[in-house]
Structure 1
Amino acid sequence: MPWPERSTMSIRREFVLLAGQPESNVRELCRRYGVSPRTGYKWLDRYREQGDTGLQDRSRRPLSSPGRSDPELEQAVVQLHHRYP
């Protein structure tokens, strides 16, 4: 008999609902679900603020790239590269 397939969202929702029960131990739930307490509390905070949408994966892309060159400079380098291959 195969294992039932469960989505990441359903697992996180189950965690949050169990953690919301009276007398629940969040750290014990974290151990049971194999996540760090920091992650467990992050899920709880996001769920309180945003509901189910707060449990979705978020992009890990940085908000800014401070080391990136200006677009004009990039264009000038590309033009020089094409001129002098």
Structure 2
Amino acid sequence: MNTRFPPEELAAIDNWIARQGRQLSRPEAVRRLVGIGIRDEIREEHVQSAVVAAASAKLAIKAAKQTRERELKGKGK
């Protein structure tokens, strides 16, 4: 796959390479940056799933407490 990058993106890639502490080719740097982006996206999806699961659990606990309170009130009659 051949990809052309505008000069400012090449500069950003070159700056990223320079910060890695060892010489990487541009193609290797691009592969690594894509991998980082994919892992970050997957991580974000997991975080969002965990947030939804926590919110669902909170709602389930609230519903269970309300049900229990109604049951206790019903027995008190």
TM-score, reference length from structure 2:
0.27
* Greater share of helix: 2
| Relative contact order higher in (CA < 8 Å, ≥ 6 apart) | 1
Compare CA radii of gyration and give the structure with the larger one: 2
